[in-house]
């Protein structure tokens, strides 16, 4: 995802996000067919493509559709630490959420 600017934060669905240093806003629309939710192994820089299967291309990663599904899969994945990436086709932004196995 070279050159893509990350937008970090803990926001809910349909919450406006503001890109750092701009006033441009967009809304999380998880039901938008142009969005993808994928898992990334932070240490390896690889993306989840199935149980015990990781790939180097985010386009080849499994689209988990929702943050909830990505969290469930991530807790059963054979890797740590993980990040959940929410990407939107046609934009230069992505939402990156760290996924921790630690219980609160």
Q: Taking all residues of the chain, what is their mean pLDDT, rounded to a whole number?
A: 76
CB–CB of 7/28 below 8 Å?
A: no
- The model's pLDDT over 49-93, given as tens digits with 9 standing for 90+, comes to 999 899 999 999 999 999 999 999 999 887 889 999 998 887 777
User: E-strand spans in 1-104?
Assistant: 5-8, 16-18, 25-27, 35-41, 46-50, 53-55, 82-88, 93-99
Rounded Cα–Cα distance for residues 13 and 56 (Å): 28
Model pTM greater than 0.85? no
- The model's pLDDT over 75-86, given as tens digits with 9 standing for 90+, comes to 988 788 999 999
């Amino acid at each position: 995802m070279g050159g893509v600017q990350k937008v970090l934060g803990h926001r809910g669905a349909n919450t406006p996000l503001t890109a750092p240093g701009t006033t441009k806003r967009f809304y999380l629309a998880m039901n938008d067919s142009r969005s993808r939710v994928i898992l990334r192994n932070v240490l390896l820089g690889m993306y989840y493509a199935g149980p015990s299967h990781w790939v180097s291309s985010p386009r080849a990663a499994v689209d988990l559709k929702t943050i909830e599904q990505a969290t469930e899969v991530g807790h059963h994945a054979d890797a740590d630490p993980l990040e959940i990436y929410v990407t939107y086709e046609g934009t230069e932004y992505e939402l990156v959420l760290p996924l921790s196995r630690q219980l609160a």
